[in-house]
Amino acid sequence: MRIPFLKKGGRRVPEKVFEEDVVRATDIIAPASITISQNYLKLGERFAKSFFIFSYPRELSTAWLSPIINLDAPMDISFFIHPIETSTELRKLRRSVTEVQAEIIRKQEKGEIRDPALEIAYQDLEALRDRLQSAQERMFKLGLYVTIYADKEEGLREIETTLRSILESRLIYIKPALYQQKEGFVSTSPYGLDKLAIHNLINTEPLSSTFPFVSFDLSSNEGILYGINMHNSSLILFDRFGLENSNLCCFGVAGSGKSYALKLEILRYLMLGVDVIVVDPENEYKALSEAVGGSFINLSLASGNQINPFDLPTPREDENPEDVLRSNIINLVGLLRVMLGGLTPEEDAIIDRALTETYAAKDITPETDSETWAKKIPIMQDFESVLEGMEGTESLVNRVRKFTKGTFAQFFNKPTNISLEKQFVSFGIRDMEDELRPMAMFIVMRYIWNAVRSELKKRILVVDEAWWLMQTADGASFLFGVVKRARKYWLGVTTISQDVNDFMKSEYGQPIITNSSLLLLMKQSSATIDIVQGTFNLTDYEKMALLESSVGEGIFFAGQKHVQIRVVSSYTEDQIITTSPEEVLKIKQAKE
């Protein structure tokens, strides 16, 4: 390649062939071409059309612009508000009032039929003039412009038809900016330039109704990303610990994306330093535990992991040891009622007394210190020995021996040999026999609750397939007690269940929902949708949305607000939490 040279002062210097950069940032951003037509613009392959509002009704309702903002179509909306000098406008109003009043008098003198429109206009003008004179209101010129976008001209027409139907139902009328599409596009771009200059005279009160930020929104300055707001594609950023309680209920049919959504929540809260404990009936959280360096505790009769039902929480400084011991015994009576297949009133009283004596035999009383409590915790066999020494306990002893002798003793009659030291802990009980699973969930919940009460720390407790625990009145009662008291211990309880109907069969189902400030409803079955609608006061639109929603879509409630949500994740998050058999197989093959 030859480089051209120029002679300069007797020296040969290379000629500057390229005086400017070949590609600039504006070249990358700008469309390949712009075509300006009489009623639309074509930006590259995309169409745009601008409109202006030219007529408003006598009265504007609050948030009348909300349906437009929430419309599922790309658009830009701009407001240009120009204040008007009050004295100038008062002179015009005085003249207008005089003209309207003269017209009314003329009609009266001629005996013509009264004109209600004139009388209403006169009243409105007088009222406005009074408010302007007393400085309660001001006058403005308002220019409101809208630019819509579509891939085809037909798309523009469809969006225009929708816009007109929404606005004209409110007696608000728009027109396309014919032969001014360039000016309309610039006016709705973030330049702050009012190129159309098409204004309506408006006072303060109706002007306030045009406030644009009225769409459904669940964004806050703190918290995690839960998903995308399907109303307006905004982000749902929320902190569950910022409400009156931090509890969450999640319902949806199998495969609707419940576990996926809540695993995402877990993963994101772990990044914020929050501890998470999971009761996992199907061992779904094992992969997540391994990925985040957590602890997965497999519970079964042959696993070697045991939890002693008689464990006690360590009383904190602000707690009375007597209250702690009494509460533990009451909960333990409920557990034994489940384990022993129910108790008569007499047996219930015997069990209560026997538990007190079992702890006392180990020198665990309200008067002894917490170190003694930790060192001398009894086991099921100690309880059996106390029962044997009491009268009328033959039936109880025989039933208790089921858990102190044989295979059941491997889990129920051993000291606890696990801990909650890791930030993420999952208790897997899939391999536990079906008849023992409600008992195992109850024991795990008691163990977790004791740990939570012993140390004040921000935590989340996830109870997956909560209907297992809700099968018995004592299990449901205990879960409700945890949900109700969780706030005092900086705990957020998440209950997950497939069927709202199964959950609501328990008398504690509705109270658990009531005591949960957060709610996530995923796809529902047609057999239970009416119950769901009645329980959560859903509209017919929301009912249909839950019947037809795709995987990962639903309705997210936070306090008094609720929006339609689509759960989204990054590629890395998806690789960690997915439970799709196809995806799991691909990940395993990739690792191999």
> Cβ distance 115 to 76 under 8 Å?
no
Q: Does position 403 have pLDDT exceeding 90, yes or no? A: no
State pLDDT tens for residues 412-431. 888 888 888 899 999 998 88
CB neighbour list of residue 30: distance below 8 Å, 6 or more residues apart: none
Tokens of 38: 């009489």
CA distance 460 to 275: 6
Closest CA to 431 of 546, 333, 303: 303
Q: Is the dihedral angle over the CA atoms 542, 543, 549, 552 positive or is it negative?
A: positive
CA distance 12 to 10: 7
- Name the one residue in this structure whose structure tokens are 């059309």: 49
Rounded average pLDDT over 544-559: 88
Domain 244-307+421-518+573-592 has CATH 3.40.50.300: yes
The domains of the chain are located at 39-208, 244-307+421-518+573-592, 309-415
- Name the one residue in this structure whose structure tokens are 């538990």: 355
CA-angle at 249, arms to 247 and 251, nearest 5°: 170
State pLDDT tens for residues 80-120. 998 888 777 777 777 777 777 777 777 777 777 777 777 77
Q: Is the dihedral angle over the CA atoms 334, 336, 341, 344 positive or is it negative?
A: negative
Q: How many CA atoms lie within 13 A of 172 on its CB side?
A: 20
Phi, then psi, of 318 in degrees rounded to 5? -90, 10
State pLDDT tens for residues 170-188. 899 999 999 999 999 999 9
Q: Please, which residues bridge with residue 428 across strands?
A: 280, 298
State pLDDT tens for residues 461-517. 999 888 777 877 888 888 888 899 898 889 999 999 887 877 777 888 888 988 898
